[in-house]
Structure 1
Amino acid sequence: MSLVCPVILGSVRSDRQGLRAARFLVRALETRGHEAPLVDPAELKLPLLDRMYKEYPKGEAPEPLERLAALYRRADAFVVVSAEYNHSIPPALSNTLDHFLEEYFWRPSAICCYSAGQYGGVRAAMQLRAMLAELGAPSIPSLLPIPRIGKALSESGDPAEAWLPKAASRFLDELTWYAEALRAQRQKGTPY
Structure 2
Amino acid sequence: MLKLKVITSTTRPGRKGPVIARWIAAVAEQTGNFEVEVIDLGAINLPMMDEAFHPRMKKYEHAHTKKWSATIDEADAFIFVTAEYNYSMPAPLKNALDYLYWEWNNKPAGIVSYGGASGGTRAAQMLKQVLTTLKVMPLPEGVILSFFDKHINEQEEFVATESAEKSAQVMLHEVKQWSAALQSLRHKEPQQ
- Report the TM range for the smaller structure's normalisation: 0.7 to 0.9
Bigger mean CA deviation after superposition, 143-152 or 101-110 = 143-152
Residue 146 of structure 2 corresponds to residue 147 of structure 1: yes
Q: Does 2:51 align with 1:61?
A: no
| Conservation of the 8 A alpha-carbon contact between 2:102 and 2:190 | no
Structure 2 letter corresponding to 1:181: A
2:66 aligned counterpart, secondary structure? helix
Give 1:87 deviation, angstroms.
Answer: 0.5
Show the counterpart of 1:111. Answer: 111
For 2:163, the equivalent position in structure 1 comes to 163
Is the CA contact 1:89–1:127 (under 8 Å) kept in the aligned structure 2? yes
Gaps of 5+ in 2: none
Measure how far apart 1:172 and its partner are: 0.8
> CA contact under 8 A between 1:23 and 1:156: conserved in structure 2?
no
Distance between the aligned counterparts of 1:190 and 1:144, measured in 2? 33
Paired letter, 1:22: A
Aligned to 1:24: 23
Could you give the per-residue CA deviations for residues 7-42 of structure 1, whole angstroms, max 9, x where no partner exists?
A: 111001112121221111111122223122111111
Alpha-carbon displacement from aligned partner over 1:25-60 (angstroms, at most 9, x marks no partner): 1111222231221111111111111216666756x4
Q: Is the 8 A contact 2:142 2:167 kept in 1?
A: no
CA distance in 2, matches of 1:137, 1:183: 12
Question: Could you tell me how far 1:67 is from its partner in structure 2?
Answer: 2.4
Normalising by structure 2, we get a TM-score of 0.87
What's the CA shift for 1:162? 2.3
Determine the structure 2 residue equivalent to 1:90: 90
Instruction: Quote the Cα distance in structure 1 between the aligned partners of 2:76 and 2:58.
Output: 24
- Structure 1 alignment gaps of length 5 or more: none
Q: 1:164 to 1:57 in 2, by over 3 A?
A: closer
AA in 1 matched with 2:65: L
Does structure 1 retain, via aligned residues, the 8 Å contact 2:105–2:186? no
User: Following the alignment from structure 2 to structure 1, what is the Cα–Cα distance between the partners of residues 122 and 38?
Assistant: 24
- Root-mean-square deviation (Å): 2.2
